[in-house]
Amino acid sequence: MKSLVLLSVALLLSPAVSFQNLVQGVRAAAAPKSSAVDLEEALLQEIKALGDSRLANSATVQQRILELENSCLGIQRPAISDSVYGRWRLLHTDNANTASPIQRKAVDSSAFPIYQDIIFNNKGQLLVSQVVKFNNNSELKVDALASTSAYPLQELTERKGDGKILGLNLLGVSKVGSDAEEDSERPDSRINFVFDEGKFDFENGFSIPYPVPFRLPFLRDAVKGWIDVTYLSERVRISRGNKGTTFVLVKE
């Protein structure tokens, strides 16, 4: 008799427990979650609060970046997505000691806008171009030949050296070896590149070559690099470079 009573109680309670679990599950699913737009806006506001400098170390900005990177809300396989192509304006980068002195100086001031163009040249080759606009008619443009799984560049082999010249950080210090391996959990996120040429263009067709001879054989390995696109949407891109620097850019 006692066993029958216990069984009856169990049968009566089970539906109630199951219904309670169901209600809790529905409430959890209906609970508001941060959207990609909300997270992006929070990041952009934190960057805006930093003021004029694009180059700054901020724990709050880094936290916002990590929230977006870990949100799983970005476009998948971003390095070969159509959304990655076009002009991107640099908003923020952190102060990595491994960046080159020229790079740190260029991004520190917001006096001139800096862009990164992911485009194709007239040969159909993928390019990553860094552009500093001095005014409507004058700019510095540095082009890099790029490679992804969608647009592979055969000459772009793995970088071997860290980039130091006679032990000095002149062109930046790169990750190499196991530290440079791609994240297997983020397929098609990397854009490899090798700097190829650069020049200052001024009014009336006057130009000056960029003072680094990228095509010299003994420099070719040192001017290779990559960016991992760790978050991509139609308006925001977060990338981490081979020198350990993080970049936040917005689509133009």
Q: What burial class does residue 118 get, using C-beta atoms within 10 Å of its C-beta: 0-12 exposed, 13-18 middle, 19+ buried?
A: buried
Nearest to 128 by CA among 196, 70, 68, 75: 196
* pLDDT tens-digit series, residues 41-65: 999 999 999 887 777 778 999 999 9
Q: Can you tell me the distance from the alpha carbon of 78 to that of 115, in angstroms, rounded to the nearest whole number?
A: 19
- Domain residue spans of the chain: 36-251
* pLDDT tens-digit series, residues 108-136: 556 789 999 999 999 999 999 999 999 99
How many other CB atoms are there within 10 angstroms of residue 220's CB atom?
16
Q: How confident is the model at residue 103 (pLDDT cuts 50, 70, 90)?
A: low
* pLDDT tens-digit series, residues 152-204: 998 888 888 876 665 655 567 888 889 889 999 999 999 999 999 999 999 88
Q: Is 36-251 CATH 3.30.70.270?
A: no
* pLDDT tens-digit series, residues 8-41: 434 333 444 344 444 444 443 443 457 999 999 9
Predicted pLDDT of residue 160 = 86
Q: Report the pLDDT averaged over residues 214-233.
A: 92
Tell if the pTM clears 0.75, that is, is over it.
yes
CA dihedral for 201, 163, 103, 91, sign (positive or negative): positive
Predicted pLDDT of residue 116 = 97
Predicted pLDDT of residue 3 = 46
Predicted pLDDT of residue 220 = 87
Predicted pLDDT of residue 164 = 67
Predicted pLDDT of residue 108 = 55
Strands 138-147 and 86-93: unpaired
HSE-CB at 5 with a 13 A cutoff on CA atoms is 2
